[in-house]
Structure 1
Amino acid sequence: MIEELFPCVTEGDVGSSFANSDIATNGPLPNFEEFLKHICCRTRTQLTCMSLALLYLTRLRANHPRSRGSPGSSYRLALSSLCVATKYLYDDAYHTCSWVQVSMGLFTQREVNQMEMEFMYFLHYQLGVTSTEWNQWI
């Protein structure tokens, strides 16, 4: 779904791009599905949290319809959306260092902090969901 919401920029494409990363050039990336499974299993992510993370990604696309992803940005967006959703839903959410540990070595603590802040910024800090919006989403 992330790759459908934010198609990757290819050579010659022009346009705004956020969630840029050099992770794609640091070596081979793990399979994206395996990356997601690893994060969700290690953090014991609940379905509600996954659904909220996807809702945030949909909002992100609505807020920035012309943005394009870059190679590796799906990994950043997945981790950021899950991190923000978890912190929004749970008082005892994982700390940044835990997200670094489950990211399979792709991100540093500084990068995870920055990704989280940028993700909320691009959502205009609108993290709440009304019951009507949630019921329509689910």
Structure 2
Amino acid sequence: MNNSSLPNLIHFIKSVTTKSRVSKMTMVVGLIYVDRLKKTLPSSARGDFDTPYKIFLSAILVASKYLSDHSLQNKTIADITDGLYTNKDVNTMERSFLGLLKYNLWVDADEVKSFLEEHRVELDIDVNWTGDEEA
């Protein structure tokens, strides 16, 4: 795979989010995981050209598994990337992501609330938003 075979990142995120039907809460918890990851990596850390795609997929997969008994499956993630990543790739991404987070997946209500308040503008979230839905 090379850089030119990747779709635009925003289009990729919208496509995966739509196809996977992840909940708002899964997305928020996934973003909290990405935020944690950013804080633990050295500022000099550099990934491959497709690292943002892998981080996004890993974040929603891990968040979905953490939050729901009816979570996304690795094969489903591989399928909805339209051949961009294989099931084996997704398995590797998930293990790497969990390792980088040191398996620290607990997110409490206060952390969700403060994350939403801090990022309300970027996320374009309604003041009355709640995460009361299926993960």
User: Same fold per TM (> 0.5)?
Assistant: yes
1:70 alignment counterpart: 48
| Residue 51 (structure 1) aligned with residue 31 (structure 2) | no
Q: Is the 8 A contact 1:35 1:104 kept in 2?
A: no
Q: Using the TM superposition, give the Cα deviation of residue 51 of structure 1 relative to its aligned residue in structure 2, in angstroms.
A: 0.9
Aligned-pair distance for 1:69?
2.8
Q: Deviations over 1:21-72 (max 9, x none)?
A: xx335x5211111111111001111111111111100100111133223211
* Residue 114 of structure 1 pairs with residue 92 of structure 2: yes
3-state SS in 2 of match to 1:113: helix
Equivalent residues of 2:28, 2:112 under 8 A apart:
no
Q: Please give the secondary structure, in 1, of the residue aligned with 2:2.
A: helix
TM-score (norm 1): 0.78
Question: Deviation of residue 104 (structure 1)?
Answer: 2.2
Matched residue type, 1:126:
N
Give the % identical residues: 31
Report SS of the residue matched to 2:84: coil
Q: Structure 1: any 5+ residue segments left out of the alignment?
A: 1-22
Query: How far 1:114 sits from its partner (Å)?
Result: 0.6
Q: Structure 1 runs of 4+ off > 4 angstroms?
A: none
Whether 1:29 and 2:6 are equivalent positions in the alignment is: yes
When the two chains are superposed, the root-mean-square deviation of aligned CA atoms in Å is 1.3
- Matched positions, count: 115
Normalised by the size of structure 2, how large is the TM-score? 0.79
- How big is the shift at 1:91? 0.5
Unmatched tracts of structure 2, length 5 or more? 117-135
**Residues of 2 paired with 1:125 and 1:115: CA distance?**
14
- Tell me, yes or no, if structure 1 residue 102 matches structure 2 residue 85: no
Provide the rounded CA distance (Å) in 1 between the counterparts of 2:110 and 2:28: 15
